[in-house]
């Protein structure tokens, strides 16, 4: 039985002020003058919560109820469903880490900070297998980033704090201990978790995506699930595992059609936390810059680097040929090299990339007949491209689409309610403007590992979506 959770916590804003006892013959202080809490009340837990709440956000979502006759999750006249969750700020530019199940298939995302500021968020990248996602807001000023710890030295029984949007009670705080390590949990037919932390800190639905924090004020886990019918049995994704997933989601190959050519590895053993260069691809920007296996990356541009997530996010919003100073520790001393990102070449495509269709690889394409046969074989579709000015999609936010001209009986497409005349506008996380875009998704290196393959179609000028089950090949 699947139960999603996020930790909760009362975010305490500590207001500085003056406290004085007025003598009988002195003027009484203004009634609204704030009083400072005593030193005894400003405990380590209070200080930790105060700092963590600045980087923890409450998430509210909205989506349409699923149709009863097809698996589309957005149909005309469907009832709206409100959802909730939590997230943590992992980059000052507005990138927030949360659980994938918090934002999966939603139509709108609203983020509220502990200050009361509200933002509309968009999904940046997702990792359904590990139930993690990155969403993004455009903040009015740089956001405070929550301090990151490590799950490599977590001790059984150590004290932890959970913060989250528990049952809609925003920014709720609870405290407990680490109850167990390395739990494997099955949550329904479509989600399995490995190596989870177990805690007795109070976690409720809405806590999903929130932080589990140690007594150093560092995040050591992302709250993800609770045990139905039990009390004080909650689970969190270890932060080291979550950071590995975040690095993949931040990767410039996936997000910006660029690459650096450095193969890096997180090395975390308690207080020792560093990023090692494991290999450098020949003729890559990293090779040209002079990066070497064994280097420890210290900084990229203005971003201090502790792990792969830091390394990858340092390249966000950068352009090809833009020079970035990469500081490494080599042979006991620090050296700086200049690295210029390059446009992604097909032979360097080691990870799935989110890219506009015009930039999808076209090197050595299969003959059109072979492409059409493959799409027919795997999905059961025959399609023809249409332009963005076609009346059937004009005014909609698409660069074009693939008009479905035939659907094979008993195919994955037919089983999911797709019909002749529908327009395929997206597959997985990619737009589908031409046939080669569909083929590109079928050729993704991690295609076989996808639990589901999401698709988007336009029917009667309304966008619908659904999922092909795993194993569509």
Distance, in Å, from the CA atom of 119 to the CA atom of 111, rounded to the nearest integer, reads 5
Judge whether 101 counts as a catalytic residue.
yes
Name the strand (E) or helix (H) holding 143: none
Distance of alpha carbon 247 from alpha carbon 201, whole angstroms: 28
The catalytic position among 4, 101, 130, 378 is: 101
- Active site residue: 208, 260, 295, 378, which one? 208
The dihedral sign for the CA sequence 182, 183, 184, 188:
negative
What single-letter DSSP state applies at residue 22? P
Residue 4 annotated as catalytic: no
CB atoms within 10 A of CB 236: 32
- Nearest-angstrom CA–CA distance, 66 and 11: 35
36 among known catalytic residues: no
CA 22 to chain centre: 54
- Asked whether 114 and 171 are in contact (CB, 8 A), the reply is yes
Catalytic entry in 91, 105, 114, 131: 131
The DSSP code for 23 is P
DSSP 363: S
Closest CA to 121 of 133, 105, 106, 138: 138
What's the 3-state SS for 375-440?
HHHHHCEEEEEEECCCCCCCCCCCCEEEEEEEECCCCHHHHCCCCCCCEEEEECCEECCCHHHHHH
Active site residues: 101, 131, 208
């Amino acid at each position: 039985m699947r139960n999603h959770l996020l930790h909760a916590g009362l975010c305490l804003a500590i207001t500085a002020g003056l406290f004085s006892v007025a003598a009988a013959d002195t003027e009484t202080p203004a009634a609204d003058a704030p009083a400072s809490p005593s030193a005894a009340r400003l405990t380590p837990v209070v200080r930790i919560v105060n700092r963590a709440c600045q980087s923890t956000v409450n998430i509210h979502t909205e989506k349409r109820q699923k149709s009863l006759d097809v698996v589309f999750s957005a149909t005309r006249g469907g009832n709206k469903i409100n959802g909730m969750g939590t997230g943590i700020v992992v980059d000052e530019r507005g990138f927030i880490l949360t659980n994938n199940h918090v934002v999966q298939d939603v139509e709108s995302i609203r983020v509220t900070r502990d200050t009361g500021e509200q933002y509309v968020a968009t999904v940046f990248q997702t990792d359904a297998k590990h139930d993690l996602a990155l969403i993004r807001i455009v903040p009015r000023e740089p956001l405070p980033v929550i301090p990151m710890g490590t799950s490599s030295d977590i001790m059984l029984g150590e004290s932890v704090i959970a913060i989250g949007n528990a049952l809609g009670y925003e920014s709720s705080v609870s405290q407990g201990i680490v109850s167990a390590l390395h739990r494997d949990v099955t949550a329904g037919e479509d989600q399995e978790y490995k190596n989870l932390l177990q805690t007795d800190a109070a976690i409720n639905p809405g806590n999903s995506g929130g932080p589990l924090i140690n007594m150093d004020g560092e995040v050591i886990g992302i709250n993800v699930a609770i045990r139905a019918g039990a009390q004080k049995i909650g689970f969190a994704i270890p932060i080291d595992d979550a950071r590995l997933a975040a690095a993949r989601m931040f990767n410039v190959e996936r997000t910006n059609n660029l690459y650096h050519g450095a193969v890096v590895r997180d090395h975390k053993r308690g207080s020792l936390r560093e990023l090692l260069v494991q290999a450098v691809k020949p003729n890559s920007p990293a090779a040209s810059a002079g990066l070497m296996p064994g280097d420890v990356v210290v900084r990229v541009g203005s971003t201090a680097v502790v792990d792969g997530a830091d390394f990858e996010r340092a390249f966000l919003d950068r352009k090809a040929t833009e020079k970035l100073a990469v500081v490494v520790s080599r042979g006991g001393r620090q050296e700086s090299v200049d690295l210029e990102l390059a446009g992604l070449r097909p032979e360097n495509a080691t990870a799935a990339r989110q890219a506009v269709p015009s930039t999808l690889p076209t090197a050595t394409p299969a003959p059109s007949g072979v492409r059409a046969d493959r799409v027919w074989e795997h999905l059961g579709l025959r399609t023809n491209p249409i332009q963005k000015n076609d009346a059937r999609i004009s005014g909609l936010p698409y660069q074009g689409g693939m008009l479905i001209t035939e659907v094979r009986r008993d195919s994955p497409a037919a089983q999911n309610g797709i019909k002749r005349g529908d327009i395929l506008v997206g597959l997985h996380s990619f737009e589908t403007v031409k046939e080669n875009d569909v083929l590109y998704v079928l050729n993704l290196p991690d295609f076989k590992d996808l639990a589901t393959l999401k698709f988007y179609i336009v029917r009667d000028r309304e966008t619908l979506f659904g999922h092909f089950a795993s194993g569509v090949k």
